[in-house]
Amino acid sequence: MDLVPALEEPLKQPLKSVLGPATAKVMAEHLGLRTVGDLLHHYPRRYEERGQLTHLADLPMDEHVTVVAQVADARLHTFASAKAPRGKGQRLEVTITDGSGRLQVVFFGNGVHKPHKELLPGTRAMFAGKVSVFNRRLQLAHPAYELLRGDSEEAVETWAGALIPIYPATAKLESWKIGKAVQTVLPTAQEALDPLPPALREGRGLLPLPEALLKIHRPHTKADIADARARLKWDEAFVLQVALARRRHADTLLPAVPRVPGPDGILAAFDDRLPFTLTEGQQKVSREIFADLATAHPMHRLLQGEVGSGKTMVALRAMLAVVDAGGQAAMLAPTEVLAQQHHRSVTEMMGELASWGLWREAPPQKGGGGRREGGMLGGAEHATKVVLLTGSMGMAARRQALLDLATGEAGIVIGTHALIEDKVQFHDLGLVVVDEQHRFGVEQRDALRGKGKQPPHLLVMTATPIPRTVAMTVFGDLETSVLDQLPAGRSPIASHVVPAADKPHFLARAWERVREEVAAGHQAYVVCPRIGDEEDDPKKAGKKKDPEGEADKRPPLAVLEVADQLSRGPLQGLKVEVLHGRMHPDDKDAVMRRFAAGETDVLVATTVIEVGVNVPNATAMVIMDADRFGVSQLHQLRGRVGRGSAPGLCLLVTEMPEASPARQRLAAVASTLDGFELSRIDLEQRREGDVLGQAQSGARSSLRVLAVIEDEEVIAEARQEAAAVVAADPELERLPGLRTALDALLDEEREQYLEKG
């Protein structure tokens, strides 16, 4: 909820010139604050008590901070330099303290005069600047500062007890300047329209919106802050949940063809041939999906499952159910490698029920089942064509695949974005399965769904476990199914951090372990963050520095270089191949086929193998520069091993020091195989906006005080309240304040995201 009509005045407007055009420009460019309403909804990050100084011991490295502290001592030094060769250079060193620690503040050159007069021992002030290290000590160089004065005894008491709001700031605009700007526009808060229905607000004892805005920016007590935050969290949760509830309501009004499988069709034939029993989780989720498919409005379901939990099996049974009912099913995969992998695994699982699959250059001859890639023969009674459609296919194969889709000959198609092209026509598209949905833009998914005569059913799959609250917030217009059991026969994966800088012999031992796995008849992956060919720019790669350690002073390790070093060094004599995203699709497919067939011992790859790649004989994975990957991504990568009966091993190689946050993150990954627990850790370390699909919506995050992990109860209750409000008044005609807030939240791009998502 970014704006309300009464607060839409631009900050640059002459009437608001008290901010100054320069300040208004910085606010717009660096903080995205363009109106009075934006500024009022820019809430303090935290509050300082003047009488209770901040903890200098906990300052984050390389970040802009605001601290309230007392000057312990100040010393002026002179020195010789290139600019002042006669020893006339000046440096003011001020030591500030808060009782928990000390911090050095430094000023140079002409900048020393004013602070030298003002920052006397015993003075209290707010300092804002970027934390850096000099001579192994934390310091603030040339910080902005504001003295905190109290004159009379009464003023001192008031001053000491006051709560100072500390705002999210930038190097160009300090927190207290933002605070002064907020105080200027704060009277306008009285005109804010309240989006919460009065009955809801009163029933839950929440403050009116104007009062909440006043208390969040100018609190007298900590209770004021708590009351204001409780109210503003409800705004954010409720308005977003109303948007999602309206989307769900609109979906129930869309027509769809019910797809009910017959008792003795291809699904029954497939189930009869299964050499194993489905897990309880797979059976339960399948029942939920089949119930949705049988309804006369489109299914919108999110299927999330742990790595290796058998999502593909569940999706295939859903596709077969639709084929049974006379429709077609399409599976959209994010990469050619994954599309080919899905095509292989689906046709292998179906056996003779897949009458034939990908034809390289020529369709089968009339009257014969023909030879399908992979060597199986067609001809089963209930068989259906399973075709692959990717951008790199030959013309003849592509033409045949398109014909099979248009005539309905192909019941199942698996492909990449090539499925979305205008010339792709379906006979009767009944189900769209989207794999790893976060890799697709909204328009791509919408284009495929638009190919049905009526809206097809939609099943979205992800192997990235999503905490319940995030699922309710991000995918609130989808019903959610969770697979959290691993199929029988899956082996545990042991994970260890390999500190290459601290203990180089650990890395040597890692390569010995890879050789041992290969000697035992198994295979291994080595994952690198970069490709390393001439298209990579090492200068750019080296520019990005991370304060966590020295490792970031070199470019990330690259596939081509590491593969070469391993072949000539610790893995000499083994069959080592490379795989990355810039290879020709045919070459990628050939490499994966050789690896899957056991002809390659070690595959050195980028994250192109992150999802869907299934080689049960691969038991070991070494992830180089593991600190450069996210928690969930590491969990995804690790899921490529331990897929057979032999135990898996994942080694996380890093040069980061032991005390660094990066090492703590890797230790968390090594300590648990619970993807949902890791997703919580991942979420806590990222900005909320990243999680809320900003990349897909193009809109900035609507969440300012709501934390999707901590505020589970608020989100769940807001979802219930939103559903009730929308059921009673879908167009929100009786709630103009809510409509206004909704319009503000759903700018054009966000609206599109929810419409199409």
Q: Quickly state the pLDDT bin for 10 (edges 50, 70, 90).
A: confident
Which pLDDT belongs to residue 14?
Answer: 54
Please, are residues 620 and 649 in contact by the beta-carbon 8 Å criterion? Answer: yes
Q: Is it the case that residue 376 has pLDDT exceeding 50? A: no
Q: In what order do the strands lie in the sheet with 300-305?
A: 385-389, 410-415, 328-332, 429-435, 457-462, 300-305, 479-483
Work out the percent of the chain whose per-residue pLDDT is above 90: 34
Beta bridge partners of 124: 70
Instruction: Between 552 and 313, name the one with better pLDDT.
Output: 313
Beta bridge partners of 332: 415, 434
679 residue type, one letter:
S
Which pLDDT belongs to residue 62?
Answer: 66
Q: Is it the case that residue 625 has pLDDT exceeding 90? A: yes
Which pLDDT belongs to residue 437?
Answer: 57
Average pLDDT over residues 667-692: 70
Instruction: Between 427 and 81, name the one with better pLDDT.
Output: 427
What does the block give as tokens for 199? 């009955």
Q: Which of 96, 89, 92 is CA-nearest to residue 76?
A: 92
Q: Is it the case that residue 478 has pLDDT exceeding 80? A: no
Please, are residues 624 and 526 in contact by the beta-carbon 8 Å criterion? Answer: yes
Q: Is it the case that residue 3 has pLDDT exceeding 50? A: no
- Of 385-399, 455-469, 540-554, the range with the lowest mean pLDDT is 540-554
Q: Is it the case that residue 267 has pLDDT exceeding 90? A: yes
Q: In what order do the strands lie in the sheet with 576-579?
A: 493-499, 648-654, 618-623, 523-527, 602-605, 576-579
Residue 721 to residue 679: CA distance in whole angstroms: 27
Q: Quickly state the pLDDT bin for 589 (edges 50, 70, 90).
A: confident
Please, are residues 264 and 381 in contact by the beta-carbon 8 Å criterion? Answer: no
Residue 725 to residue 431: CA distance in whole angstroms: 31
Phi, psi of 242 (to 5 degrees): -65, -40
Instruction: Identify the sign of the CA torsion 398, 400, 403, 409.
Output: negative
Please, are residues 602 and 571 in contact by the beta-carbon 8 Å criterion? Answer: yes
What is the four-CA torsion angle of 544, 550, 553, 559, rounded to 10 degrees? -100
Beta carbons within 10 angstroms of residue 684's beta carbon: 11
Residue 11 to residue 19: CA distance in whole angstroms: 8
Residue 308 to residue 297: CA distance in whole angstroms: 31
Tally of residues, the chain = 757
What is the four-CA torsion angle of 362, 363, 368, 373, rounded to 10 degrees? 70
Which pLDDT belongs to residue 697?
Answer: 35
Which pLDDT belongs to residue 310?
Answer: 83
Please, are residues 324 and 265 in contact by the beta-carbon 8 Å criterion? Answer: yes
Q: Is it the case that residue 359 has pLDDT exceeding 90? A: no
Q: Quickly state the pLDDT bin for 126 (edges 50, 70, 90).
A: confident
Q: Is it the case that residue 340 has pLDDT exceeding 90? A: no
Q: Is it the case that residue 16 has pLDDT exceeding 80? A: no
Which pLDDT belongs to residue 700?
Answer: 37
Which pLDDT belongs to residue 687?
Answer: 45
Residue 431 to residue 720: CA distance in whole angstroms: 29
Residue 246 to residue 248: CA distance in whole angstroms: 5
Average pLDDT over residues 585-596: 88
Which pLDDT belongs to residue 263?
Answer: 85
Highest mean pLDDT among 529-538, 618-627, 704-713 belongs to: 618-627
Phi, psi of 462 (to 5 degrees): -145, 140
Q: Which residues of 265-294 are buried (b: 16+ CB within 10 A; e: fewer)?
A: bbbebbeeeeeeebbebbebbbebbbebbe
Q: Which of 261, 358, 279 is CA-nearest to residue 317?
A: 261
Which pLDDT belongs to residue 196?
Answer: 93
- Of 571-585, 587-601, 632-646, the range with the lowest mean pLDDT is 632-646
Please, are residues 570 and 508 in contact by the beta-carbon 8 Å criterion? Answer: yes
Q: Is it the case that residue 610 has pLDDT exceeding 50? A: yes
Please, are residues 146 and 126 in contact by the beta-carbon 8 Å criterion? Answer: yes
Residue 39 to residue 501: CA distance in whole angstroms: 46
Instruction: Between 495 and 179, name the one with better pLDDT.
Output: 495
Q: Is it the case that residue 686 has pLDDT exceeding 80? A: no
Mention every residue, 6+ apart, whose C-beta is less than 8 A from residue 471: 302, 304, 478, 480
What does the block give as tokens for 47? 């509050």
**616 burial via Cβ count (<10 Å: 0-12, 13-18, 19+):** middle
Please, are residues 159 and 150 in contact by the beta-carbon 8 Å criterion? Answer: yes
The reported pTM is 0.65
Which pLDDT belongs to residue 268?
Answer: 93
Q: Which residues of 432-467 are buried (b: 16+ CB within 10 A; e: fewer)?
A: bbbbbbebbebebbebbbebbeebbbbbbbbbbbbb
Angle between helices 675-684 and 661-671 (to 10 degrees): 160
Average pLDDT over residues 552-567: 85
Which pLDDT belongs to residue 173?
Answer: 81
Q: Are strands 429-435 and 328-332 parallel, antiparallel or unpaired?
A: parallel
Cα 68 from chain centroid? 34
What does the block give as tokens for 117? 């007069």
Instruction: Between 150 and 448, name the one with better pLDDT.
Output: 448
Residue 503 to residue 305: CA distance in whole angstroms: 36
Average pLDDT over residues 736-747: 79
Which residue do the tokens 């006339």 mark?
88
- Of 278-282, 390-394, 413-417, the range with the lowest mean pLDDT is 390-394
Q: Which of 270, 256, 394 is CA-nearest to residue 327?
A: 256
- Of 130-144, 222-236, 263-277, the range with the lowest mean pLDDT is 130-144
Q: Is it the case that residue 357 has pLDDT exceeding 50? A: no
Q: Which of 10, 499, 520, 479 is CA-nearest to residue 252?
A: 479
Q: Which of 75, 159, 173, 170 is CA-nearest to residue 125?
A: 159
Which pLDDT belongs to residue 163?
Answer: 81
Average pLDDT over residues 30-48: 84
Instruction: Between 512 and 304, name the one with better pLDDT.
Output: 512
Q: Is it the case that residue 450 has pLDDT exceeding 70? A: yes
Which pLDDT belongs to residue 532?
Answer: 80
* pLDDT averaged over every residue in the chain: 80
Please, are residues 226 and 216 in contact by the beta-carbon 8 Å criterion? Answer: no
Instruction: Between 366 and 114, name the one with better pLDDT.
Output: 114
What does the block give as tokens for 419? 């499925």
Average pLDDT over residues 603-622: 86
Instruction: Between 600 and 364, name the one with better pLDDT.
Output: 600
Please, are residues 737 and 195 in contact by the beta-carbon 8 Å criterion? Answer: yes
* H/E run at residue 527: strand 523-527
What is the four-CA torsion angle of 474, 478, 481, 486, rounded to 10 degrees? -50
Instruction: Between 458 and 176, name the one with better pLDDT.
Output: 458
Residue 479 to residue 287: CA distance in whole angstroms: 13
Instruction: Identify the sign of the CA torsion 614, 620, 623, 626.
Output: positive
End-to-end CA distance of the chain: 20
Instruction: Between 51 and 93, name the one with better pLDDT.
Output: 93
CA distances from 147 to 50, 107, 120, 548 (A): 11, 16, 11, 32
Q: Is it the case that residue 400 has pLDDT exceeding 70? A: yes
Instruction: Between 665 and 375, name the one with better pLDDT.
Output: 665
Mention every residue, 6+ apart, whose C-beta is less than 8 A from residue 453: 428, 429
Q: Is it the case that residue 50 has pLDDT exceeding 50? A: yes
Q: Is it the case that residue 189 has pLDDT exceeding 70? A: yes
Mention every residue, 6+ apart, whose C-beta is less than 8 A from residue 456: 256, 298, 327, 429, 430, 431, 432, 449
Q: Quickly state the pLDDT bin for 364 (edges 50, 70, 90).
A: very low
pLDDT digits (tens, 9 = 90+) for 649-673: 999 999 998 888 889 889 999 998 8
**541 burial via Cβ count (<10 Å: 0-12, 13-18, 19+):** middle
